[in-house]
Amino acid sequence: AFTGAKTVLDQQQAQEAISTVLNNANKSKFAGKIAEGKAFLEQNKKRTGVQTTASGLQYEVLKAGNGAKATATDSVLVNYKGTLLDGKQFDSSYDRGEPITFTLNQVIKGWTEGVQLMNGGSKYKFFVPYNLAYGERGYGPDIPPYSTLIFEIELLKVNGK
């Protein structure tokens, strides 16, 4: 490349190759975390009351509501608590003392899919595989890469578009 000779890979192919190598190295580093999540989900789906969607999202209905259902583009008001598989809590609107409003298509895929299953007034427990959560990057200091997450979500209100 420095001499102006023809390269084997163009710029995009070189970036893809580098990205693949780095992702595979990162995945190897977190192989235990990936295996832990997979084993947990395999066991969890056998529990009575746990449902599994086509994407691999698992959920359990803690309280059935009869309010409106949200679509992916709706804003919703929820209370929630998020934990890692070891029980360590990383976030909670309950602890902050107030529910949060967000638009469903602006959160992790597991929330976008899961909250649409709920009627207003419901409370569900979601078991979110890493690929429907924060994936290979994790999130902040509290959610490591490749983490399977558990959320208790209470859908208080569907605000609409």
pLDDT of residue 132: 98
**pTM attached to this predicted model:** 0.83
Residues forming beta bridges with residue 158, ordered by sequence position:
76
pLDDT of residue 85: 96
Q: Could you confirm whether 90 is annotated as catalytic?
A: yes
From 30, 59, 91, 150, active-site residue: 91
Q: Could you confirm whether 139 is annotated as catalytic?
A: no
Q: Where are the beta strands (DSSP E) in the chain?
A: 50-52, 58-63, 75-84, 89-92, 100-103, 123-128, 149-160
Say if residue 26's pLDDT is above 90.
Answer: no
Express each pLDDT in 130-155 by its tens digit: 999 999 889 999 999 999 999 999 99
Identify the weakest region by mean pLDDT among 15-19, 35-39, 64-68, 128-132: 15-19
Q: Could you confirm whether 80 is annotated as catalytic?
A: yes
